[in-house]
Amino acid sequence: MEIVERKHNPLLERDEIRFEISHEGGATPNLAEARRVLCAKLNAKPELVVIEGIYSHYGSPTSRGFARVYKDPSRLRSIEAKKVIKKNFGAPEEKRAEGEAQEPKEAKEPKKPSKAAKGPGEKEPKPKESKEKA
């Protein structure tokens, strides 16, 4: 992995990093692999590194990516979009635990066959007549 550009953003309290990763003879690395290598290279904690994406070039065994390294986890959660956090770290632990504890929902009753699905000898039910007030 090679760091192409590193820029400090004091307003958002983070470092913005453009990197290039070589994957000769293999698939484009996933976010977890790239984060592990990037953290080792930058000497950063994995929970403070967010990779926006890894983009491969057609026919080339190299990919480029964009990552952000925060100083504080609360700052990361307040700035990054929820979908980027979910893509990088998965669902939050407490929500995952709640989802596993819930019982599966009961299956809905099967739908009644439509008019077109009825056989040739079956009759249509008569509509109920409304009662008129006298």
Question: What's the count of helices (H) and strands (E) in the chain, helices before strands?
Answer: 4, 4
Residue 105 belongs to a domain: no
Residue 36 belongs to a domain: yes
In the predicted structure, residue 119 carries a pLDDT above the cut 50: yes
CB 42 within 8 A of CB 69: yes
d(CA 22, CA 18): 14
Q: Report which of 10, 7, 33 is spatially closest to residue 21, judged by C-alpha positions.
A: 33
DSSP letter (8 states) at residue 118: S
Residue 82 is inside which H or E element, if any? helix 82-89
Residue 110 belongs to a domain: no
Position 16 scores a pLDDT of 94
Note if the pTM is more than 0.75.
Answer: no
Question: Of the given ranges (24-33, 40-49, 64-73, 75-84), which has the lowest mean pLDDT?
Answer: 24-33
Show the domain range for 47. 2-91
Residue 70 belongs to a domain: yes
CB 92 within 8 A of CB 77: no
